[in-house]
Amino acid sequence: MNKESNLPVERSRILFKGIVQGVGFRPYLYRSARKFQLTGFVKNTSEGVILEVEGKNLDNFLQYILNHLPPLSEVVDYNVSKLPRQFSREFEILASENTDKSDLLVSPDIAICENCKKELSLPADRRYQYPFINCTDCGPRLTIIQDLPYDRPKTTMAKFAMCEKCGSEYHDPMDRRYHAQPVSCFHCGPTLSLYDNNGNKIETGNPWQEACKKIKAGNIVAIKGLGGYHLACLASSDEALIKLRKYKNRENKPFALMGTLEMIQQNCRVSETEKKHLLSPSAPILLLKRKPGANVSSLVAPGQNTIGFMVPYTPLHILLLQEINQPLVMTSANISDEPIIYKENTNTEELRALSDYILSHDRDIYLFADDSVAQVFDDRLYMVRRSRGYVPFPITIPFNSPKIILGLGPLLKTTFTVIRGNKALTSAYIGDTESPSAIAAEKFAIQHYMKLFAFKPDIVVIDKHPGYPNRLIAGEFPGAEVVEIQHHKAHVGSLLAETGETGPVIGVSMDGTGYGDDGKIWGGEFFVGDYQTLSRFGHLKYLFLPAGDRSVKEPWRFALSLLHTLYGPGHDRVTQFAGKFGKKGHQQLEIIKNSQSKFGVLTSSCGRIFDAAAAVLGIGYFSSFDGDLPSLVQGVAEKSGGSKTCYDFSIEKEEKNTILNLLPLFHDMINDNRRVTEKAFIFHQTLANGIVSMAEQARSEYHIDKVGLTGGVFQNLLLLELTTARLREKEFQVLIHSEIPANDGGISLGQCYLAGARYWND
């Protein structure tokens, strides 16, 4: 007799909490219970998944379960209670008890899993080379869901009736495709079609192979993906890239690439952590250090030391990459910074203008989602754009909000966020809400979330800027209280929310631009206080930004103004610099001299300081996208071997504010005859030291030793590294972002967090 059969029969109830619904958790428990010959049941409830099992050696079973969890699940907590025996005879999956939509979560879209990959490449499999293969562990989710609970009739798969074979897989709890809503095959699922850019369908037995031929021949092919269309072409071809840049009207902004891990490793340095994230179910674009001798066209990311790479994350992508066998450009199909194109009917014209051919299919995308973009810092994910693969997973905040709060975000890189209870749901990246189509996209996505997650906002939060168009959306929630939150405070709020902090904190918001409480253009801000009392402690010295938005596109104008402030009107250095731009330069100088207040504004923006550094160092004078020159300055600095030198700066008191004056830095930099790479590095180092000195000043006045670093400028990992290292040397505790971007993609979360704070008096 073996030991096992002597053990008593017991019954236990186990409640699993975390990401346990819509990720194949119940069928996993079903299969495991059957394997261990246990009886009982499993069901979804609003609290989590409840498992009751009866049989022998339940401890052993529980250990097994916890050690073999489905890849997408995450058990945050579990709780075991003993029950009397009920002499159950079988193990069942019971119908969901959950009728309250407000507790349901939706899974993000998930990269193809290993099992599906195997089947895709197995000639004997009935889904061999099927471009829409998926299972419970992988495939589209958020982008195809029209309503909850998540069930096939409520997805864009509703129009495809399952064939007999797919149906039996779908209904069999022992099968990997049990309740996989998008399950399909060649006989019953979506199909691909290829079109030319006049809209004529190209007759071919194999549209994806035909599309590969077009790509190999140097064409731009629009390819329908999970959350929208990509524009694809050969990453090695200068000609294709020149054409793509012309179609997209995009001068220098880097394009993302798609390649297998081997291709990525040929072109970039990939750490273990980076590899882990590249291959994760979220499959983001990672910004990776380019290797010398990379065989990718220099037109992919001009002037950058990094390349944005992702792995093929759908079966169609895998087929394309296998056939073409070299990295592809895979950039979102959109017009400049508008939302990604995802609907064929409404966007056909735009799509044709952007591509030579269109590879499409008839599984509709209901909600758009761009690819996510991230970096790795300090061995952790450091998000740049949080979208596909991550949304709509909630961020847990340290409060239970009695109000439902909707944050509408800023102007650029907009997202929106809903806080309900202790969960914050941040939307996919929407883009720059300057155009009617972007506003429409934001409205649609908000309406969809309201339906999906069954909420109506009590509070709607907007940016302080009086002219931001998404203010208009706020008017569409009658009865809701409208609250304004200043842009850079919202950045700090987003960091507090993400890190589960309430403060007190020294919040450092190094950013592009945002409308300030005093009507000036803020962007290099220091705050002190907690989540309820956050107030401005100081800022970068105000400098005159001539010609407003024009200076943002032509940063030499701001550099000229800075030099004028530094040296005075008649100084050689000022006239020489103006002379570089001929007549325009002298005209601009006259305006700066004569009418500072009329034709410009004062700004404390840190992004503009980077712009000015680029112009003074001769790295660049014009900007073709947000962050263009700052990323070049970083790129140049990273080529230096480092330096211990620091330029001068000063900290001054101005009424209540503490001012970080970087003009001495510019003076030193101009008079320094080191190489430009070293000067760019010392520029970073000085800025980092200036920030740390400001933090020390704040600590001495307010006795706070926690510093939070946020704002778009902190996407610059060199600055982030120098600043955090120096802060830690000075024994500060440092908060930095991870899953929520430091840039404006995080603003909506911060808006909600700070606007709600006053209701959270416990």
Interaction site with Fe ion (CB under 5 A): 511, 744
> Judging by DSSP bridges, how do beta strands 192-196 and 357-361 pair with one another?
antiparallel
Reported for 656-660, long-range contacts at CB under 8 A and 24+ positions apart, including other chains, are 657/536, 657/537, 657/538, 657/539, 658/526, 658/537, 658/538, 658/694, 658/697, 658/698, 659/538, 659/539, 659/540, 659/541, 660/524, 660/526, 660/538, 660/539, 660/540, 660/541, 660/690, 660/691, 660/693, 660/694
Select the binding partner of residue 185 from Fe ion, Zn ion, none (C-beta < 5 to 8 A, by kind).
Answer: Zn ion
Select the binding partner of residue 495 from Fe ion, Zn ion, none (C-beta < 5 to 8 A, by kind).
Answer: none
Residues in the chain: 762
CB of 187 vs Zn ion, minimal distance in Å: 5
> Is residue 137 a contact residue for Zn ion (CB under 5 A)?
yes
Q: How far is CA 622 from the centre of its chain?
A: 26
Name the residue nearer to Zn ion (CB basis): 70 or 546. Answer: 70
Among 135, 428, 459, 747, binds Zn ion (CB under 5 A): 135
Is 397:734 a contact under the CB 8 Å cutoff?
no
CB of 183 vs Zn ion, minimal distance in Å: 7
Instruction: Give the list of residues 6+ apart from residue 673 with CB closer than 8 angstroms, or none.
Output: none
Is 298:245 a contact under the CB 8 Å cutoff?
no
Select the binding partner of residue 187 from Zn ion, Fe ion, none (C-beta < 5 to 8 A, by kind).
Answer: Zn ion
Name the residue nearer to Zn ion (CB basis): 184 or 509. Answer: 184
Site for Zn ion, residues 296 to 325, rule: CB under 5 A: none
Type and span of the H or E element at 276: helix 272-278
Select the binding partner of residue 188 from Zn ion, Fe ion, none (C-beta < 5 to 8 A, by kind).
Answer: Zn ion
CB of 746 vs Fe ion, minimal distance in Å: 8
CB of 160 vs Zn ion, minimal distance in Å: 8
Name the residue nearer to Fe ion (CB basis): 364 or 511. Answer: 511
Phi-psi region of 117 (alpha: psi -120 to 50; beta: other; left: phi over 0): alpha
Site for Zn ion, residues 373 to 412, rule: CB under 5 A: none
Select the binding partner of residue 511 from Fe ion, Zn ion, none (C-beta < 5 to 8 A, by kind).
Answer: Fe ion
CB of 745 vs Fe ion, minimal distance in Å: 9
Neighbouring-strand partners of residue 661: 650
Written as six digits, the tokens of 414 are 């907009």
Closest residue by Cα to residue 105 from 394, 418, 397, 375: 394
CB of 507 vs Fe ion, minimal distance in Å: 13
Q: How far is CA 48 from the centre of its chain?
A: 27
**Rounded distance between C-alpha atoms, residue 216 and residue 209, angstroms:** 11
Name the residue nearer to Fe ion (CB basis): 21 or 486. Answer: 486
Name the residue nearer to Zn ion (CB basis): 117 or 403. Answer: 117
Select the binding partner of residue 717 from Fe ion, Zn ion, none (C-beta < 5 to 8 A, by kind).
Answer: none
Name the residue nearer to Zn ion (CB basis): 177 or 465. Answer: 177
**Part of the chain binding Zn ion (CB under 5 A), chosen from 111-119, 278-286, 461-469, 641-649:** 111-119
**Rounded distance between C-alpha atoms, residue 522 and residue 493, angstroms:** 16
Find the Cα–Cα–Cα–Cα dihedral 399, 395, 530, 660, rounded to 10°.
-170
CB of 35 vs Zn ion, minimal distance in Å: 20
CB of 511 vs Fe ion, minimal distance in Å: 4
Among 113, 384, 669, 736, binds Zn ion (CB under 5 A): 113
Name the residue nearer to Fe ion (CB basis): 48 or 745. Answer: 745
Give me the sheet containing 91-93, strands edge to edge: 74-83, 9-19, 49-56, 39-44, 91-93
**Rounded distance between C-alpha atoms, residue 30 and residue 598, angstroms:** 72
Name the residue nearer to Fe ion (CB basis): 11 or 489. Answer: 489
With 0-12 CB in 10 A as exposed, 13-18 as middle and 19+ as buried, what is 326?
middle
Select the binding partner of residue 166 from Zn ion, Fe ion, none (C-beta < 5 to 8 A, by kind).
Answer: Zn ion
Select the binding partner of residue 601 from Fe ion, Zn ion, none (C-beta < 5 to 8 A, by kind).
Answer: none
Query: How does 353-368 read in b/e, with b if 16+ C-beta sit within 10 Å?
Result: ebbbbbbbbebbbbbb
Name the residue nearer to Fe ion (CB basis): 371 or 744. Answer: 744
Select the binding partner of residue 105 from Zn ion, Fe ion, none (C-beta < 5 to 8 A, by kind).
Answer: none
Closest residue by Cα to residue 387 from 346, 327, 448, 339: 339
Name the residue nearer to Zn ion (CB basis): 137 or 638. Answer: 137
Select the binding partner of residue 540 from Zn ion, Fe ion, none (C-beta < 5 to 8 A, by kind).
Answer: none
Q: Helix, strand, coil shares of the chain as percentages rounded to 5?
A: 35, 25, 40
Select the binding partner of residue 744 from Fe ion, Zn ion, none (C-beta < 5 to 8 A, by kind).
Answer: Fe ion
Name the residue nearer to Fe ion (CB basis): 260 or 738. Answer: 738
Site for Zn ion, residues 145 to 204, rule: CB under 5 A: 163, 166, 185, 187-188
Name the residue nearer to Fe ion (CB basis): 52 or 511. Answer: 511
CB of 692 vs Fe ion, minimal distance in Å: 21
**Rounded distance between C-alpha atoms, residue 147 and residue 699, angstroms:** 50
Closest residue by Cα to residue 258 from 223, 293, 206: 223
**Rounded distance between C-alpha atoms, residue 463 and residue 485, angstroms:** 5
Select the binding partner of residue 405 from Zn ion, Fe ion, none (C-beta < 5 to 8 A, by kind).
Answer: none
CB of 26 vs Zn ion, minimal distance in Å: 17
CB of 635 vs Fe ion, minimal distance in Å: 21
Question: Which residues of this protein are in contact with Zn ion, per CB under 5 A?
Answer: 113, 116, 135, 137-138, 163, 166, 185, 187-188
